Structure 1
Amino acid sequence: MLSMHSHGKSQNRRAAAPFPTPNPSPGGSPRRPAPRNWPVSRGGGDGVMPPGGGGCRHGSAAQDHPPATVLRDEEDPLLVLARLASQEKKQKQHEYEYEQEQEQPAVSIPEGPLAEILARVPYRSLCRFKCVSKPWLALCSSRDICKRSPQTLSGFFYYDSDALLSFCNLNGRGPPLVDPSLPFLRERYKLIFVKGFCAGLLLCTCWESCSMGGESHYVVCNPATKEWTVLPPIVIPAEEVSHRLHPIPYLGFDATIPTCFAVFAPLRKGQSDSGIVAIYSSQTGQWTYVQSKWSARTHIDHVRKRHVLLDGTMHLTTRQKSIVTVDMEGKVWREIKMPDRLPSNVDIVSIGKSQGRLYAWQIDNRHDRQLYIWVLEDYGTGKWILKHTVNVLELFRRPGSISVFSVYPDCNVGVLNDREKIGKPCRNGYDTYDMFAVHPDCNVIFLTDKKKMTISYNLDNHKVEIICTESIHGLPYIPCFAELPVNWSLRVGAASSTQNGTPPL
């Protein structure tokens, strides 16, 4: 408890009487004791006396002793004195404890139960704890705690209407959790283009000049820790140099096994795949070149670039409505057929990962705008089950307001309400919609009308949230604070170039 001191001008005030009595009346004559059943007045007039004497002749602006106590006929003065002494002792004890707390040094990182508890707190809540005090800021900023804190989807990287990289928080409020300008890369590179994202890491193509005509580098970076590394250039095999092959890279990283990441780069020849896949491993720091075991008629959909890393295997969609897979060592190749009886043979089929399972979905934009979502039930046999269907038009026609509160604390997703109407969007027969992501930890999907609205939809309780009032087709971002490969630091900023290599595209 803070001690309270008088700030009056008088420095030599008399000590408080051992037996406090009510202040005298303004006239100077002593006041009669009130009858026993009447309320006792402690100041001049009819009101109750404020602390410190109420501003009368013997009062003060602030009090430095316990409030005056009116003596009753049956009260023993010695008991009153003992009670006052006890109050003063407690006050001094509180003052001492407060001073001891202020003199304690900053809290060091504990090794015991507190650290174990904080390591299990979601990252967003951990950030809130940093605002409690400076010791809590130091504690919750510990890398050992942050890297173990369970992470979930926090937002989306996307390119805005001005072709600038932006970031949208999932809850629609507050400044971005990460700086989308990637300032830690700007110290070296003038032009940066994000090619892909996987589990907290970004794959970028970077130029040291402001022109895309010069030499470029592949850079893998972690926006949360600001670590980054430059990949060596892809060297086209001598027998394929004349074919003008172009690599199309896909990043693979599993935050639960953060010891390595991989980049898969099918080499494209004109409008088709050459059958050669370059695979980079952070463990070796080198590219290996393998011949694909997929069908010769397989053409990866490099326009949409839908890809998922699941159980150490890269999954890529094809233009033939199938999914091709390859493990991180380039030894196991497979092709999985899309669900049977797709509602549209024209609209794109996309894939994603949620709760450790592979998802596929399609919106029939040519007919009734119906969304179909499947889950791969049996990975061995390639059996799909239809998980959910919903009319997308109905989702975007629901009035509501931008996220006001969160009802999914683990997913950071809120609900619509009717407090602030934004009205029903006007739709026509030419509108198209896109589902661009599925939440990795719960049954929530994300859709855009490609014009002015992006929403989330909960498959379990059918709740809708407006993420933002613009169309985004973003890359899901999940913060990663895990320890990255040690040899990253050996290659940071140390990009090498060879005359036989081709610059990344």
Structure 2
Amino acid sequence: MEESNPAKKEEEEEEKKKAGTTNLPAAAAVPAVLTDDLIVEILSRVPARSVHRFKCVSPSWRDLIADPGNRKKLPQTLAGFLYDTYHRVNPDVREFHFASVSATAGAAPPVDPSLPFLPRDEHHLYVAHVDTCNGLLLCLAHMAPASSPSSTDMVESHYVVCNPATARWVDLPPHPKAPASVMARLAFDPAVSPHFHVLQFAKTDQEECITGVDIYSSRTGAWNRRETTRSVEKFNLYFDATSVFFRGMLHLLGWLQPMNLEADVDAVLVAVDMDGQVWETMRVPSRGISFGKIGLSQGCLHYATTPLGDVGRNTVIASVWYMKDYDSKEWVLKHTVCKNELGGITSVDYKVAAIHPDCDTIFLDSCEVDILASYDMQRREFRHIRHLEKYMACVFLPYVPFFSDSLAGADGQ
């Protein structure tokens, strides 16, 4: 039997290590072994944020991810926000804009807010942006009556759902009329179904409560009225707040009726399913009277508040919670942002405008100086995004491109 030689074994191990570093492919060369189709298949299974970061791996990966032919397979991240401003001459008419959140200077915006692919005729006045959901955009087309196209006293309207990335659209049938103004929200999840829903709520007086909802389904092509169930608490809705479609239910911010301004527990999330059969009210964290915002980020519901009426260098700009367990409705405080964390810009008052869907970033806006900014809660970094136009409205609609050609009931392309 050959005698064991520790020195010789050590020498052999060293030779193996050297051989491994010289004969095996280097780590940087491993991606070259993969075909483009296999890389795209792998990237289609990772979060959108990771796909965005993988553009930095190499020029070939950057081109592969940016290729229009691969976009349909890859998850997309937040591109920016659609928002509108009041017309300076006619306050009933809006002007529409897009604010990109990309750090790439000079990059072309991924969406034209004028939506030039939608058909127009002499009766169209303008098309308002109402809501977005997973790449689709809900619009309200305002038209003058055909009998009197020059008159705007009796404006007619109908909803349009479109995909700005593919220029496909659906004209919805006339929506149910309401004695007062209405609020409409879009619900769409391409991972579950190619069909979408539009939910329309009639605005009530502050002291009254919501009694039901009109729901349009692209599957049936028709509107249906659904009343609130008797088991749900009486509530009203904030008509200027965005909504979240999650777990098959539309979530909206509201408050319980009768309203109690001194009670923190009055603020609620209202959830309704797409059949209008299931209604829920969920308490949200509150620290007195504040401006609230909901969002879906990294697979969890998030809720952010900005206290009203508080001033000073250590003023809390935002408190951000996430729902750790949807079944138990447990909220966990994620971060609190104070004004002194925003670098040298401490004289400006901000409120939360939106929550990033893929990372721990919130977006802040200030009507005072017309600025849109972002704040990375992990790195504690504040970044100015852009100056906004004057007479800006308060709602920012997040836009995530959706490159699938599939749009249930599409009229055109």
| TM-score under structure 2 length normalisation | 0.72
> Is 1:226 the counterpart of 2:167 in the alignment?
yes
> Is 1:350 the counterpart of 2:293 in the alignment?
yes
The answer on whether the counterparts of 1:352 and 1:358 sit within 8 Å (CA) in structure 2 is yes
Partner residue of 1:334?
Answer: 280
Partner residue of 1:457?
Answer: 375
Identity, % of aligned positions: 30
The answer on whether the counterparts of 1:244 and 1:269 sit within 8 Å (CA) in structure 2 is no
Q: Residues 459 and 331 from structure 1, CA distance in 2 versus in 1: closer, same or farther, beyond 3 angstroms?
A: same
Q: For 1:170, which of 101, 112, 116 is the aligned residue? A: 101
Could you list the runs of 4 or more consecutive aligned residues of structure 1 that deviate by over 6 angstroms after TM superposition? 121-128
Aligned partners of 2:167 and 2:179: how far apart in 1?
35
Q: How does 1:425-464 map to 2 (within 5 A)?
A: 426-427=347-348, 432-450=349-367, 451-464=369-382
Aligned partners of 2:71 and 2:218: how far apart in 1?
23
Partner residue of 2:262?
Answer: none
Q: Residues 179 and 457 from structure 1, CA distance in 2 versus in 1: closer, same or farther, beyond 3 angstroms?
A: same
In the alignment, structure 2 segments of 5+ residues that lack a partner are 1-33, 88-93, 145-149, 257-266
Q: Kindly state the Cα deviation for residue 186 of structure 1 after the two structures are TM-superposed.
A: 5.0
Query: For 1:117, what is the secondary structure of its paired residue?
Result: helix
Query: For 2:97, what is the secondary structure of its paired residue?
Result: strand
Q: Kindly state the Cα deviation for residue 118 of structure 1 after the two structures are TM-superposed.
A: 3.6
> Is 1:476 the counterpart of 2:409 in the alignment?
no
The answer on whether the counterparts of 2:364 and 2:373 sit within 8 Å (CA) in structure 1 is yes
The answer on whether the counterparts of 2:291 and 2:308 sit within 8 Å (CA) in structure 1 is no
* Deviation per residue, 1:354-397 (Å, 9 max, x gap): 01111111111322531211111222222211111121x2244x
Aligned partners of 1:385 and 1:276: how far apart in 2?
31
> Is 1:381 the counterpart of 2:307 in the alignment?
no
Aligned partners of 1:193 and 1:127: how far apart in 2?
34
* Deviation per residue, 1:427-486 (Å, 9 max, x gap): 5xxxx4210111111111111122232211111111221111337752111000124244
Amino acid of the residue matched to residue 234 of structure 2? R
Over the aligned positions, Cα root-mean-square deviation in angstroms equals: 3.1
The answer on whether the counterparts of 2:210 and 2:235 sit within 8 Å (CA) in structure 1 is no
Partner residue of 2:254?
Answer: 318
* Deviation per residue, 1:13-53 (Å, 9 max, x gap): xxxxxxxxxxxxxxxxxxxxxxxxxxxxxxxxxxxxxxxxx
Amino acid of the residue matched to residue 325 of structure 1? A
Query: For 2:131, what is the secondary structure of its paired residue?
Result: strand
Partner residue of 2:80?
Answer: 155
Query: For 1:464, what is the secondary structure of its paired residue?
Result: strand
In the alignment, structure 1 segments of 5+ residues that lack a partner are 1-111, 237-242, 400-423, 494-505
Aligned partners of 1:439 and 1:356: how far apart in 2?
11
Partner residue of 1:259?
Answer: 194
Amino acid of the residue matched to residue 447 of structure 1? L
Q: For 2:112, which of 174, 179, 183 is the aligned residue? A: 179
Ranked by relative contact order (alpha carbons within 8 Å, sequence separation 6 or more), the top structure is 2
Q: Kindly state the Cα deviation for residue 161 of structure 1 after the two structures are TM-superposed.
A: 6.5
Amino acid of the residue matched to residue 167 of structure 2? K
**How many corresponding residue pairs?**
333
Aligned partners of 2:242 and 2:132: how far apart in 1?
11
Aligned partners of 1:447 and 1:249: how far apart in 2?
24
Aligned partners of 2:270 and 2:176: how far apart in 1?
24
Partner residue of 1:298?
Answer: 235
Q: Kindly state the Cα deviation for residue 114 of structure 1 after the two structures are TM-superposed.
A: 2.0
Q: Residues 361 and 194 from structure 1, CA distance in 2 versus in 1: closer, same or farther, beyond 3 angstroms?
A: same
Q: Kindly state the Cα deviation for residue 324 of structure 1 after the two structures are TM-superposed.
A: 1.0
The answer on whether the counterparts of 1:251 and 1:262 sit within 8 Å (CA) in structure 2 is yes
The answer on whether the counterparts of 1:252 and 1:261 sit within 8 Å (CA) in structure 2 is yes
